[in-house]
Amino acid sequence: MSEARSIIITGAGSGIGQATARRFLAAGWRVALLGRKADALRETAGSDPALILPCDVTDEGAVDSAFDHCHAEWGRLDALFNNAGRGADPATPDAMDPGTFRDVIAVNVTGMFLCARAAFRLMRAQAPQGGRIINNGSISAHAPRPGSVAYTVSKHAVTGLTKSLSLDGRPFDIACGQIDIGNAATELLTRVSTNAPDAEPLMDVAVVADAVLHMAGLPRGANVQFMTVMATNMPFIGRG
């Protein structure tokens, strides 16, 4: 029997990261869970033998240490789901607190870069060379919602990161793709939607987990460059 493939999932303590981590564990992958709260990561893992690695993705040293720990345990990293991110309360640009803007960029852009950088380093050096990085973009990487300047800027930057990683990874058999998600029914979004008078339709977060598993499981030489997975009737087409 071939050895199980390995993946690091960031932001694995809740929402999309948690659902995706559980899907990969059920599929027999070796999974490392990264997030700020160890208790939440342990809840994600349950009784499954995941690696629990509390980590702030904006901390370069902590990110490198977490990825090195995975390499020491497994000897190989096959995939990264670069998922950790945050939003901000709706605000027009003039009302957006600059500190909040910087915090969103720190997690959604710098944090994603640091994790991609660490994965790229391991994938380039391992034998056989290569691997796959999947970035969590957003519908907002294409069309913004009102009052979302920090989040929208960050997710447009993620698309640039995806394209750069794809180009720079070619000589080393490192593929990079992006999944742009619209209205997955995580606990937080469901609670917000339930209380909103103009709530948009939601989709089961399991659909996202299945999509990421499909992207990660593709054979070498094949890649999903960009995938949009969204609630069918959400206002995306016609919004931008």
Distance CA 75, CA 40 (A): 26
The pair phi, psi for residue 229, each rounded to 5°, is: -125, 120
How many Å apart are CA 193 and CA 102, to the nearest integer? Answer: 27
Burial of 134 (0-12, 13-18, 19+ CB in 10 A): buried
3-state SS, residue 136: strand
In this structure, the dihedral spanned by the alpha carbons of residues 42, 44, 47 and 49, taken in order and rounded to 10 degrees, is -80
Question: CB count, 10 Å around CB of 9?
Answer: 33
Cis peptide before 128 (omega within 30 of 0): yes
Residue 19: phi and psi, rounded to 5, are -60, -40
Compute the distance between CA of residue 15 and CA of residue 13 in angstroms, rounded to an integer: 7
How far apart (Å, rounded) are the C-alpha atoms in residues 97 and 216? 37
Query: Is-catalytic flag, 151?
Result: yes
Catalytic residue, candidates 67, 120, 151, 236: 151
User: How many angstroms separate the CA atoms of 83 and 102, rounded?
Assistant: 18
Enumerate the active-site residues. 151
